[in-house]
A and B are shown apart, each in its own frame.
Chain A
């Protein structure tokens, strides 16, 4: 049986009196796209650095690709894009990739082609022979992505992979993550862009103050509960009673938001409102977003988030 990509048991990291990571216990399966979410300073990058052998845990046990932390063979199969992505400014991107290929032990004979393929994948082929010091931040992040993908790794850590990228770059990253998943690689994704995470991840864990506060598949995290926004005219007390019968009600006339309603109940709600003589101008079912769930988990005050997919009633 193939070991999990990442398997941790009560991994902790303390810097003096400050605890960066509390008893992290989790498993990331092979071939999963796993989102690791949390606010700044939550311990996400510390966890990744522990998995990569850059930081030594204070306590706990951890295996990566079925090997102990820092194992050389396991590291040969790992790619990493750091949050702070910096590469030798005096080298060209082709040279940086060739250096990493050499350190990975890729055969010299096919290395130039491999480097060319990776440069094409991350959209840097035209600048392959320019010094990295002349690159924009976004181009350097693309190079970092290329470095992480070199050698077809089994496990890829992407720490805020789109922080410096434009929308086209973000789309490219999503495509790359999907292609990694298609070939069976595991992707461990640290990101603040929750809409991106929601789109590409199979499972997520939310970490706060060094502790995992929730984890599960996207569906498990969001639950079956949805809300529906209705633009209504001529609302009478009977209509309000109907609305309240289906869930919690928030009124921002002429918009009415019924929370806690399931998808299957929306047609019945509409049918009963019409029967009660209410004019219905718009019905917009809305599922709880990962961002809303994330803010709820972190107990952020006034966690009601305006989803940008819903038109502003004003």
Chain B
């Protein structure tokens, strides 16, 4: 097996053995159970089906946002110690002299964590959508598309945290990644408000932050995939609502933005490999 895959499997095994998966899975099942119970109760007490669908669609988007925050934190705190803690503890001293490159080590770590994160997103997110569909009869328009955007958002933060992990202590890298997630989200809101107020300077600044940390743009993509057409039309008609609502959007992310995000992640990953290759252990 190529060393890159050996490191990737090692990373997955560590997550399994250290009960990271068990904890995340258990906490997710509790969250799915509670949210599904809430949808059932909402369904029981409603007499207006159209209004109920509107409320349920908004709640699904809010749930997805909460899930995206969990994913962001999980990505940041899984990736930030991935390399830093092995260097600090001394585990890397025995491993790195083996016949493989530092780049293979970094890519292997990324592949293992990315597999874990994407699988977690699709399994837990999929279960949530299925549970709501069975219990409350509500089916969001494009759940797989939404999960793909949420995965991409998690991968972006994971890549950023892994880059930090090649140089920074684990806790500092984790905080930096979560701060980037927060900055991107706030920039999205501020950009919307600035757009409504026609303040070009602030809007450009917010756009720049959104490109520097593209997680909010990816979150907007997930929100777009989850919104019913009727809700989008209502937002389209109300500019101020659209501008200030971080949980809604009326258009999918542009192709150029998605291309930029892919390049951004590749650049960060290449940067992580370069940074770690140049580091004295």
**Which A residues lie at the B interface, using CB under 8 A?**
49, 52-56, 72-73, 75-76, 78, 80, 82, 84-88, 90-91, 99-100, 102-105, 144, 147
A102: which of B6, B93, B96, B278 is its contact (CB, 8 Å)?
B6
Q: Do A102 and B1 have beta carbons less than 8 Å apart?
A: yes
Which stretch of B97-105, B157-165, B188-196, B203-211 is in the interface? B97-105
- How many residue pairs link A and B with beta carbons under 8 A? The number is 65
> How distant is B136 from chain A, measured CB to nearest CB, in Å?
41
Residue contact B97 to A53, C-beta cutoff 8 Å: yes
Residues of B with C-beta under 8 A to A78: 97
Which residues of B line the A interface, CB within 8 A?
A: 1, 3, 6, 10, 14, 17-18, 89-91, 93-101, 278, 280-281
Cβ-defined contact, A90 with B99, below 8 A: no
B6 touches A103 (CB 8 A): yes
Contacts A49-B281, A82-B90; is A99 near B97 (CB within 8 Å)?
Answer: no
A99 vs B8: C-alpha distance in the bound complex, in angstroms?
12
| Known A99-B10, A103-B3, A105-B99; further 16 A-B contacts with Cβ < 8 A | A49-B280, A53-B97, A54-B96, A54-B280, A55-B280, A56-B278, A72-B99, A80-B94, A80-B97, A82-B93, A85-B90, A85-B93, A91-B17, A100-B98, A102-B1, A103-B6
Q: Which residue of B lies closest to A148 (CB)?
A: B94
Nearest neighbor of A52 in chain B, beta-carbon distance:
B97
Tell me, rounded to whole Å, the shortest Cβ–Cβ distance linking B277 to chain A: 9
CA gap between A105 and B10 in the complex, in Å: 16
Interchain CA distance A104-B99 in the complex, whole Å: 6
- A105, B100: Cα distance in complex, Å: 10
Interface centre among B6, B89, B91, B101 (most CB of A within 10 A): B91
Return the contact of A103 from the options B17, B89, B99, B280 (Cβ within 8 A): B99
Which residue of chain B has its CB nearest to the CB of A53? B97
- Chain B residues within 8 Å of A99, by CB: 6, 10
The chain A residue sitting closest to B278, CB to CB, is A56
Interchain residue pairs with CB less than 8 A apart (12) = A54-B93, A54-B97, A54-B280, A72-B100, A72-B101, A73-B99, A75-B99, A80-B93, A82-B94, A84-B90, A100-B94, A103-B95
List, in ascending order, chain B residues with CB within 8 A of A100's CB.
Answer: 94-95, 98
Report the minimal beta-carbon distance from B65 to chain A, rounded to whole angstroms: 34
Min CB–CB distance A304 → chain B (angstroms): 37
By beta carbon, the residue of chain A nearest B1 is A102
